[in-house]
C-alpha cells in the first residue's frame, strides 16, 4: 500500500467546498436571499436563546450556593482575599497549572491562569488551605 499524500486531504476539502458553493448557488437561484437569510437569522436567535438559558442556569446555581453579594462578585470576575477555592473556580474556571507545596502546618498552592509563554502566566493566585491569600497580576 502506498503512502497517502497530504495533498489528498486538500483535494477532498476543495471538492467538498466546491460542492457547498454550488449547492448554495442553486438554493439562491431558486429561493433568492430571503430563505437563506431567514435560516441564518433563525440559527442566530436559537444560539442566543441557548446562551441566555445557560447564563440563567449558572446564576441560579450560584445563588443556590452563595449569598447574593458573593454571586455578584463571582459574576463580575472579582478575586478577593479570603475567597474559597470553590468560589475562585466559579469565578475564573480551572487553572491552567497548579504548583503545590505541603508545609508542616498548611498546604500552599499557586494557581496559574492566562499563559503568556511556556513558564509565564499573566495571573498567579496563592491559595493556602483552600482560601485565596493573594495574587500577582501582570498587565
pTM over 0.75: no
- Average pLDDT by consecutive 10-residue portion of the chain (139 residues)? 63 90 85 83 96 97 97 96 97 96 92 93 96 92
Three cell numbers, residue 22? 454550488
Taking each helix axis from N to C end, the angle separating 6-31 and 34-65, rounded to the nearest 10 degrees, works out to 110
Give the pLDDT score at 28: 82
Give the pLDDT score at 2: 54
Give the pLDDT score at 103: 87
Give the pLDDT score at 36: 79
Three cell numbers, residue 115? 499563559
Amino acid at each position: 500500500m502506498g503512502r497517502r499524500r497530504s495533498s489528498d486531504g486538500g483535494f477532498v476539502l476543495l471538492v467538498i467546498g466546491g460542492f457547498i458553493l454550488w449547492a448554495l448557488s442553486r438554493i439562491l437561484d431558486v429561493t433568492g436571499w430571503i430563505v437563506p437569510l431567514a435560516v441564518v437569522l433563525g440559527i442566530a436567535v436559537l444560539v442566543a436563546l441557548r446562551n441566555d438559558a445557560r447564563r440563567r442556569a449558572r446564576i441560579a446555581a450560584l445563588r443556590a450556593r452563595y449569598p447574593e453579594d458573593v454571586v455578584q462578585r463571582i459574576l463580575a470576575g472579582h478575586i478577593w482575599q479570603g475567597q474559597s477555592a470553590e468560589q475562585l473556580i466559579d469565578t475564573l474556571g480551572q487553572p491552567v497549572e497548579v504548583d503545590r507545596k505541603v508545609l508542616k502546618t498548611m498546604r500552599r498552592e499557586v494557581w496559574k491562569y492566562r499563559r503568556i509563554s511556556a513558564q509565564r502566566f499573566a495571573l498567579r493566585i496563592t491559595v493556602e488551605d483552600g482560601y485565596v491569600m493573594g495574587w500577582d497580576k501582570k498587565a
